C-alpha cells in the first residue's frame, strides 16, 4: 500500500519593526533573532526532505516575502539566472541551508533598506503583521493548490514579534484567523515582549500556541522546543499551558471591554451605551422599548 | 398573465446561439487556452454579481421547508433525491452558521399533505445536522403541502422582533402541492410580514413557486444537477439585503467570559463566584441522560444572571439575554466591508512578473491579471478568487501602511 506523503509548510512571519524594545536597546540583537529563526527554518527543512519553509517580514511600512519558493534552489539551475543557482557545498553543510541563509540575509537587507528610502515619515506606526499574514495565506493557498495529487499538506503559521497592539488591523486579523480555522492552518505566536490579546484569540481559534518568552537569550531554545514540533505531536509534550483568552468585546465607541453591550442589528457594531445613531453604518435606531410594554400605549409606528 | 417574467425569458425563447463559436483555436491549433479562459470567466462571474454597500439582514432567522413527499424518492439525483438533499443540506448548515454566526435556523418537513416542525429556530450546528441525518432515514410519502408549511413557518416567524431578518427556504421535489385554502392569501400574508421566501426546485418550474418567490423578494431556481444544487444552496449562505420592513435597533447582548478567567481573587468583576462548580444550563433537560449536564468549573457565565453555558452563541434561558463572544460578531464583519472587485487587466500591459499574493510567476496561459483598485498590486486569478471568496481582505492593502484604516 502506498504510504500517504505528508509535507509540512511552515510560514514564519518576522517582525522587523525598528520600534521593538529589544532593537531599540541593542540593535545587534536583530542578528540573534534572525539567526534563531533561520536555525528553526533549517531544522524544519531537516525533519523531512519534503518540508517547506517561507519567511515573510513586516514593519510599519510594508510586508513582503524574504524567503519563498521562488528564492529556493531550483532543481535544475538555469544558466544565467543569478541568485538561484546551487551554491557549492562548503564545510560539509547541506546546500539548502546555506542557500536559505544567504537568501534571507540578502532579502532582509533589501527589505530594511527599501523601507528607509521610501517611507521615512511613518515609521512609528504599527507593524503590519496582518498584512504579512494575508500574504502568507495566499501563499499557502497556492502551495496547497499546486501540490501533487495524493499528497497531504499541513500548513502552519508562526509569528515572531516584539511589538504591542494591533487594534487598527483588527478586521484583517480576524479574517485571517477565520480563514486559517477553516483551512486547518495552525497559528502559533512567539511574542518577545508583550501579552497580545488579539493574537491570543487567533491562537485559540486555530488551535495554536501562544508563548511570551521570558528572555530573549533563550529564543532559539523556545523556538525549537515549542514551535518546531508538529501540532499532532504537541499533545505528547509538556508545553506551556494555553493562555486564558479574554473573549469579551471591546466597544466601538470607547474601546472598553464590556460584559453587556448593545449591538447594531444592521452592522453588528458594539456599543457600551445606547446611542440613537450607529456610528458605523449611520442607521437611525428606534428608542429602546422596555421589556414589558404597557398595554395602553399605542405602538409607535412612525418613521424609525 | 402578460406581466410574467418581463425581461427574463427562457433559454429556449432566446435567439439562436452559436455556442461553439466561443471556443477558438490558438496558433498551435489547441483549445486549452480558450477553455481556460471560459473557466476563468465563469469563476469571476459570481463575484461581479455581488453588490457592495447594501444593508444586510445580519440576524437571520431561516426556516428550511423540506419536501419529504413521494417525489423525493426519485432517483434522478444519486442515490435518491432525499439522500442527496440531506447530504448537501449538512454542508449548507455548517456553512450557514459559519458565515452567519448569530443567526438561527429551523426545519419544517412536509409529507402526507401535512407540515411538521422538526426543529425550532435555534443556533446549534450539531443539533441541526443530526436532525437532517434523521430526516434522511425517514420515509417519503404522500403529497407535500406548501401552504401548510408556509403557515407553520409564518406562525413562528411572525413573533420575532422587528430587527430580525425573516426567511424561508423551500426545497421542493414535487410538482404539485395539496393545500386547504387559497395559497395566494398566504403569499400576501408572507409579503405583509416581510418574510423572504426562496425556492429551489428539484424537478421543473412551477408557477406558484415563482409567484411566491417573486412576491416576497426571494430567489427561485431549478437545479440542473447535484453540483448546481450545491451552488444554489450556497447562494443562500450570504446574508440577503435587509428588507424594507425590517426595523433597525440596538440589541442588548452579553459577552460572557470563560468562568476560569476569574481565578485570581483580585478580579471581582464577575457577579457570581467564578470558581463555584455548577451545571451548565444547555444540557439540563436532555432526557434519559443523567450525566449529560456535567458538573464543572469551565464554561461561559451569563454576565447578567450567572447561568452557565458550555457553548456560545445562545440565548440565556434564565434572563433571555443573547450571549455571544466577540469573534462571533467579528466573523460576519467581512460581509459589511467586502473587498472591492479587482480590475481585470490584459497580461501584456502588466509589467510585474509575480503575483503579489502568492508569488507565482505569470506564464503564457494567464491571459488576464487582476489589479486591486486601492493598492494597485497585481494578482493572479486564483488569488483574486481566494481573496474575495475566502480571505476577505486584500493582501496588498493590508501590507502597505497607507491603506490601513
Residue B59 touches partner A, C-beta closer than 8 Å: yes
pLDDT digits (tens, 9 = 90+) for B157-204: 998 887 888 999 999 999 999 999 999 999 999 999 889 999 999 999
Beta strands in B224-303 (DSSP E): 250-254, 278-279, 295-296, 300-301
- Using a CB-CB distance cutoff of 8 angstroms, which residues of chain B are in contact with residue A202? none
The three cell numbers locating residue B94: 455548517
Residue B266 banded pLDDT, cuts 50, 70, 90: very low
Q: Smallest CA–CA separation between B306 and chain A, in Å? A: 12
Task: Determine the pLDDT at residue A293.
Answer: 47
Domains and CATH numbers, chain B: 55-237 (3.40.50.410), 277-282+294-325 (no CATH), 338-399 (3.30.40.10)
Residue A253 touches partner B, C-beta closer than 8 Å: no
Inter-chain touch B404–A128, beta carbons under 8 Å: yes
pLDDT > 90 fraction of chain B, expressed in percent and rounded: 30
Beta strands in chain A (DSSP E): 5-15, 52-58, 63-67, 151-161, 186-191, 210-212, 249-250, 257-258, 260-264, 270-271
Task: Determine the pLDDT at residue A10.
Answer: 94
Residue B272 has pLDDT above 70, yes or no: no
Task: Determine the pLDDT at residue B49.
Answer: 66
Q: Smallest CA–CA separation between A49 and chain B, in Å? A: 22
Task: Determine the pLDDT at residue B82.
Answer: 93
Decide if A123 contacts A60 (C-beta within 8 A): yes
Under-50 pLDDT residues of chain A: 1, 76-85, 291-299, 301-304
Q: H-helix or E-strand containing B166?
A: strand B165-172
Inter-chain touch A268–B393, beta carbons under 8 Å: no
Task: Determine the pLDDT at residue B305.
Answer: 84
Residue B403 banded pLDDT, cuts 50, 70, 90: very low
Beta strands in A199-267 (DSSP E): 210-212, 249-250, 257-258, 260-264
Residue A288 touches partner B, C-beta closer than 8 Å: yes
Gap between the Cα atoms of B317 and B303, Å rounded: 13
Of the candidates B254, B252, B236, B330, the residue with the CA atom closest to the CA atom of residue A172:
B330
Query: What is the full DSSP assignment across B213-234?
Result: HHHHT--EEE-SSHHHHHHHHH
Residue A267: which of B253, B336, B393 has the nearest Cβ? B336
The three cell numbers locating residue A92: 560539509
Of the candidates A298, A279, A285, the residue with the CA atom closest to the CA atom of residue B252:
A285
Residue B133 has pLDDT above 90, yes or no: yes
Task: Determine the pLDDT at residue A135.
Answer: 93
- Using a CB-CB distance cutoff of 8 angstroms, which residues of chain A are in contact with residue B253? 260-263, 270
What SS3 state is found at B147?
helix
- Using a CB-CB distance cutoff of 8 angstroms, which residues of chain A are in contact with residue B257? 246-248, 259
- Using a CB-CB distance cutoff of 8 angstroms, which residues of chain A are in contact with residue B327? 174, 177-178, 201, 205, 247
Residue A179 touches partner B, C-beta closer than 8 Å: yes
Q: Smallest CA–CA separation between B316 and chain A, in Å? A: 13
Which positions 96-115 of B are in contact with A (Cβ < 8 Å)? 98, 102
Residue A270 touches partner B, C-beta closer than 8 Å: yes
For residue B133, give the DSSP letter: H
Inter-chain touch A134–B247, beta carbons under 8 Å: no
Gap between the Cα atoms of B53 and A282, Å rounded: 12
What SS3 state is found at B400?
strand
Query: What is the full DSSP assignment across A67-122?
Result: E-TTTSPPSSPPTT--SSSPPPP-TT--HHHHHHHHHHHHHHHHHHHHHHHH--TT
Which chain B residue is nearest to residue A173, measuring alpha carbons? B393
The residue-averaged pLDDT of B276-285 equals 72
Task: Determine the pLDDT at residue B286.
Answer: 57
Please state which CATH class domain A6-75+94-115+125-235 belongs to.
alpha beta
Identify the residue whose cell numbers are 497556492.
Answer: A142
Which chain A residue is nearest to residue B384, measuring alpha carbons? A138
Name the residue with higher pLDDT: B327 or B206. B206
Residue B297 touches partner A, C-beta closer than 8 Å: no
Task: Determine the pLDDT at residue B185.
Answer: 94
Task: Determine the pLDDT at residue B404.
Answer: 43
Which chain B residue is nearest to residue A168, measuring alpha carbons? B405
Inter-chain touch A268–B336, beta carbons under 8 Å: yes
Which positions 113-152 of A are in contact with B (Cβ < 8 Å)? 119, 122, 125-126, 128, 130-132, 134-135, 137-139, 141-142, 145
* Delimiting residues of CATH 3.40.50.410 domain(s) in chain A: 6-75+94-115+125-235
Q: Out of A188-202, A244-258, B121-135, B318-332, pick the least confident.
A: A244-258
Residue B303 touches partner A, C-beta closer than 8 Å: yes
Estimate to the nearest angstrom the gap between the alpha carbon of A51 and the chain centroid.
20
pLDDT digits (tens, 9 = 90+) for A141-164: 999 988 888 888 999 999 999 888
Inter-chain touch A168–B387, beta carbons under 8 Å: no
Inter-chain touch B327–A205, beta carbons under 8 Å: yes
The residue-averaged pLDDT of B264-292 equals 56
Residue B245 touches partner A, C-beta closer than 8 Å: no
Residues in CB range of B160: below 8 A, 6 or more apart: B61, B166
Residue B325 banded pLDDT, cuts 50, 70, 90: confident
The residue-averaged pLDDT of B13-30 equals 74
Question: Which residue in A69, A267, A301 has the most chain B C-beta atoms within 10 A of its own C-beta, making it the best mutation to test that interface?
Answer: A267
Residue B268 banded pLDDT, cuts 50, 70, 90: very low
pLDDT digits (tens, 9 = 90+) for B182-195: 999 999 999 998 89
Inter-chain touch A128–B98, beta carbons under 8 Å: no
Which chain B residue is nearest to residue A175, measuring alpha carbons? B391
The residue-averaged pLDDT of B376-382 equals 87
pLDDT digits (tens, 9 = 90+) for B252-264: 888 887 655 444 4
Inter-chain touch B257–A61, beta carbons under 8 Å: no
Number of A–B residue contacts, CB under 8 Å:
203
Q: Smallest CA–CA separation between B319 and chain A, in Å? A: 11
The three cell numbers locating residue B133: 441525518
Amino acid at each position: 500500500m502506498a504510504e500517504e506523503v505528508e509535507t509540512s509548510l511552515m510560514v514564519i512571519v518576522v517582525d522587523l519593526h525598528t520600534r521593538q524594545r529589544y532593537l531599540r536597546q541593542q540593535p545587534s540583537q536583530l542578528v540573534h533573532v534572525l539567526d534563531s529563526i533561520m536555525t528553526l527554518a533549517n531544522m524544519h527543512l531537516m525533519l523531512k526532505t519534503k518540508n517547506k519553509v517561507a519567511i515573510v517580514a513586516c514593519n510599519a511600512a510594508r510586508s513582503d516575502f524574504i524567503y519563498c519558493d521562488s528564492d529556493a534552489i531550483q532543481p535544475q539551475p538555469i544558466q544565467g539566472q543569478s541568485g538561484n543557482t546551487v551554491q557549492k557545498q562548503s564545510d560539509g553543510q547541506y546546500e539548502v541551508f546555506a542557500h536559505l541563509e544567504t537568501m534571507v540575509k540578502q532579502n532582509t537587507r533589501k527589505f530594511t533598506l527599501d523601507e528607509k528610502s521610501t517611507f521615512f515619515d511613518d515609521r512609528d506606526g504599527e507593524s503590519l503583521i496582518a498584512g504579512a499574514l494575508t500574504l502568507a495565506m495566499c501563499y499557502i493557498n497556492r502551495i496547497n493548490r499546486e501540490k501533487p495529487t495524493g499528497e497531504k499538506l499541513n500548513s502552519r503559521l508562526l509569528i515572531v514579534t516584539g511589538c504591542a497592539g494591533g487594534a487598527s488591523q483588527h478586521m484583517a486579523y480576524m479574517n485571517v484567523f477565520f480563514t486559517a480555522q477553516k483551512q486547518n492552518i495552525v497559528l502559533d505566536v512567539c511574542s518577545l515582549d508583550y501579552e497580545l490579546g488579539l493574537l491570543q484569540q487567533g491562537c485559540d481559534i486555530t488551535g495554536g500556541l501562544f508563548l511570551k518568552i521570558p528572555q530573549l537569550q533563550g529564543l532559539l531554545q523556545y523556538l525549537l522546543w515549542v514551535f518546531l514540533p508538529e501540532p499532532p505531536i504537541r499533545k505528547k509534550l509538556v508545553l506551556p499551558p494555553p493562555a486564558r483568552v479574554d473573549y469579551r468585546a471591546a466597544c466601538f465607541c470607547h474601546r472598553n471591554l464590556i460584559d453587556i453591550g448593545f449591538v447594531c442589528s444592521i452592522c453588528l457594531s458594539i456599543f457600551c451605551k445606547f446611542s440613537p445613531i450607529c456610528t458605523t453604518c449611520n442607521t437611525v435606531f428606534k428608542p429602546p422599548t422596555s421589556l414589558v410594554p404597557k398595554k395602553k400605549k399605542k405602538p409607535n409606528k412612525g418613521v424609525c | 398573465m402578460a406581466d410574467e417574467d418581463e425581461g427574463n425569458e427562457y433559454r429556449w425563447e432566446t435567439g439562436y446561439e452559436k455556442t461553439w463559436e466561443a471556443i477558438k483555436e490558438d496558433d498551435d491549433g489547441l483549445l486549452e487556452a480558450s477553455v481556460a479562459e471560459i473557466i476563468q470567466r465563469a469563476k469571476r462571474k459570481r463575484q461581479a454579481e455581488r453588490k457592495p454597500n447594501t444593508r444586510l439582514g445580519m440576524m437571520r432567522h431561516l426556516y428550511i421547508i423540506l419536501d419529504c413527499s413521494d417525489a423525493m424518492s426519485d432517483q434522478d439525483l444519486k442515490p435518491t433525491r432525499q439522500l442527496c438533499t440531506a447530504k448537501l443540506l449538512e454542508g449548507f448548515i455548517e456553512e450557514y452558521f459559519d458565515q452567519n454566526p448569530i443567526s438561527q435556523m429551523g426545519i419544517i418537513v412536509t409529507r402526507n399533505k401535512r407540515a411538521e416542525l422538526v426543529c425550532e429556530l435555534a443556533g446549534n450546528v450539531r443539533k441541526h445536522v443530526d436532525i437532517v441525518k434523521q430526516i434522511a432515514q425517514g420515509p417519503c410519502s404522500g403529497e407535500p403541502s406548501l401552504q401548510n408549511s408556509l403557515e407553520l413557518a409564518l406562525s413562528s416567524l411572525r413573533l420575532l422582533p422587528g430587527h430580525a431578518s425573516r426567511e424561508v427556504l423551500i426545497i421542493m421535489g414535487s410538482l404539485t402541492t395539496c393545500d386547504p385554502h387559497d395559497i395566494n392569501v398566504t403569499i400576501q400574508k408572507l409579503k405583509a410580514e416581510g418574510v423572504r421566501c426562496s425556492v429551489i426546485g428539484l424537478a421543473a418550474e412551477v408557477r406558484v413557486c415563482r409567484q411566491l418567490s417573486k412576491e416576497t423578494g426571494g430567489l427561485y431556481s431549478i437545479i440542473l444537477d447535484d453540483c448546481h444544487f450545491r451552488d444554489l444552496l450556497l447562494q443562500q449562505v450570504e446574508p440577503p439585503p435587509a428588507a424594507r420592513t425590517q426595523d433597525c435597533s440596538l440589541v442588548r447582548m452579553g459577552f460572557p467570559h470563560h468562568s476560569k478567567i476569574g481565578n485570581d481573587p483580585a478580579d471581582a468583576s464577575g457577579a457570581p463566584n467564578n470558581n463555584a462548580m455548577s451545571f451548565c444550563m444547555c444540557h439540563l433537560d436532555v432526557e434519559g441522560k443523567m450525566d449529560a449536564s456535567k458538573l464543572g468549573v469551565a464554561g461561559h457565565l451569563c454576565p447578567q444572571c450567572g447561568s452557565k453555558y458550555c457553548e456560545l452563541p445562545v440565548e440565556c434561558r434564565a434572563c433571555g439575554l443573547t450571549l455571544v463572544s466577540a469573534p462571533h460578531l467579528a466573523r460576519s464583519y467581512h460581509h459589511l466591508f467586502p473587498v472591492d472587485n479587482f480590475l481585470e487587466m490584459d497580461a501584456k500591459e502588466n509589467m510585474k512578473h509575480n503575483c503579489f499574493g502568492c508569488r507565482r510567476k505569470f506564464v503564457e496561459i494567464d491571459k488576464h491579471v487582476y489589479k486591486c483598485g486601492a493598492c494597485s498590486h497585481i494578482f493572479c486569478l486564483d488569488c483574486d478568487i481566494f481573496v474575495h471568496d475566502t480571505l476577505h481582505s486584500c493582501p496588498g492593502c493590508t501590507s502597505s501602511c497607507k491603506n490601513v484604516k
